Every structure is written in structure tokens, then in C-alpha cells.
């Protein structure tokens, strides 16, 4: 995004001659390639599967940040190709040569915004950032019936819209791990949960 923005700034100051015919062909080929790549990555980007196992754990595969980064990358490339085609066609048939650097600035802005969003979410995962909203929902679902109390709770992100957690529950014999798991089923994006039971 920074390089595109800088190149666009330089072209504002010093316009360069453009071979519109060749440039349009290259941009169209680039757009087709990126759309095909985006289509191939789309299935993997949205793919997920769920499964569970015992000992108080629930697990599901969340979205992969690497796949999301690749998906965003090809979408950004496709966007720049579209903007380039619009600018080149306008320059060739309308004489709007100035539109080329303008579209460059627009593309750089959009790419920077997408990149910032991806870096922010990735940072939350890498730093095990606690998600207080999900933690509060877990606490409410477990404790509201009045027969259990949470002694310790930690929830963190493991991916976009995916969380993992460790919860220590103090409860009598009527409440076990299965009971806690059932109460927490409504929690959206809780991919992995470790439940520790304690006697009062």
C-alpha cells in the first residue's frame, strides 16, 4: 500500500508516458488470475469442521489466518487490477491521464485498511488477548442457574471469531462437565474449552 501510494504521488508530480494497449492487456490478465485464485481460496477460507472429545473439552477448527491473509492479498490485487483498468481505459479514450495516480491512491487506501484489520486481529491472537465480552457471556451462562460458581476463567482469541478458554467451576454433584458444556453451547466461536470441576 505504501509503495503504491508513493508511486502514485510521484506520477502526480511527473506523469509518465503509458502504452495503454499493453497496460490494459496486462491488467486484464492480472485480474483474471487474481479472480481465479480468490475463487480457489474462498472455499478454504470459509471451510471449517467441528468435532468433540471427552475430558471436558470441546474443539472446532477455526479460520486460518494464513488463508485469510492469502485471500485478502489476492482480493487486493484484483482490486488494483480493476482500478488500473478503469484508469487506463479513461486515459486512452477520454484523455484522463490524471486518473491513473488517483486510482493508485484509492487502491493504496483500501489495501492499507484491509492490511491494518488483518494485522490487528493477528496481533490479538499472537498476544493471547483476553476477550472480556465472551468471558462475561460464559460466566452468565454457567452461574445464572444458581448451582455453580466460576472460580477462575480465562478466554483468548485463537483466530477470527474463534476463542479458546479455561474455566474452573465450583459446583455440587448435580453439576458436572457435561452440564457445563451444555450450558456453554450458545457461546458463538468457542472453539476449544478446558473445564476444571471443583467441589464446594
Give the pLDDT of residue 41.
79
Asked if 9 and 101 touch (Cβ cutoff 8 Å), the reply is yes
Instruction: Round to whole Å and give the CA distance between 175 and 111.
Output: 50
Write the pLDDT tens digit of every residue in 166-184: 999 999 878 999 999 999 9
Res 15 pLDDT > 60: yes
Q: What are phi and psi of 189, to 5 degrees?
A: 80, 10
Give the pLDDT of residue 109.
85
Q: Which residue has the cell 478503469?
A: 86
Instruction: Round to whole Å and give the CA distance between 57 and 46.
Output: 24
Alpha helices, DSSP H, located in 46-176 = 65-94, 99-126, 132-143
Is CATH 3.40.50.12280 the right assignment for the domain spanning 132-198? no
For the chain, the domains span 2-126, 132-198
Write the pLDDT tens digit of every residue in 63-105: 566 777 788 788 888 888 888 899 889 888 888 888 888 888 8
Give the pLDDT of residue 105.
86
Distance (Å) of CA 98 to CA 109, 114, 159: 17, 25, 41
Write the pLDDT tens digit of every residue in 37-56: 888 877 654 444 333 333 33
**Closest-CA residue to 138 (of 175, 181, 173, 197):** 181
What percent of the chain has pLDDT above 90?
Answer: 20
Amino acid at each position: 500500500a505504501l509503495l503504491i501510494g508513493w508511486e502514485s504521488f510521484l506520477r502526480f508530480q511527473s506523469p509518465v508516458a503509458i502504452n495503454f494497449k499493453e497496460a490494459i492487456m496486462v491488467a486484464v490478465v492480472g485480474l483474471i488470475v487474481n479472480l481465479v485464485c480468490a475463487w480457489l481460496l474462498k472455499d478454504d477460507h470459509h471451510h471449517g469442521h467441528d468435532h468433540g472429545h471427552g475430558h471436558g473439552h470441546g474443539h472446532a477448527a477455526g479460520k486460518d489466518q494464513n488463508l485469510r491473509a492469502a485471500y485478502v492479498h489476492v482480493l487486493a490485487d484484483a482490486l488494483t487490477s480493476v482500478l488500473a483498468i478503469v484508469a487506463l481505459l479513461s486515459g486512452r479514450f477520454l484523455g484522463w491521464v490524471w486518473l491513473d495516480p488517483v486510482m493508485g491512491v484509492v487502491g493504496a487506501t483500501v489495501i492499507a485498511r484491509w492490511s491494518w484489520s488483518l494485522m490487528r486481529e493477528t496481533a490479538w491472537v499472537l498476544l493471547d488477548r483476553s476477550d472480556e465480552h465472551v468471558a462475561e457471556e460464559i460466566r452468565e451462562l454457567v452461574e445464572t442457574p444458581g448451582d455453580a460458581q466460576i472460580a477462575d476463567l480465562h478466554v483468548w482469541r485463537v483466530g477470527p471469531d474463534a476463542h479458546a478458554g479455561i474455566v474452573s467451576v465450583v459446583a455440587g454433584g448435580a453439576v458436572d462437565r457435561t452440564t457445563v458444556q451444555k450450558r456453554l453451547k450458545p457461546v458463538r466461536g468457542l472453539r476449544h474449552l478446558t473445564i476444571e470441576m471443583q467441589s464446594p
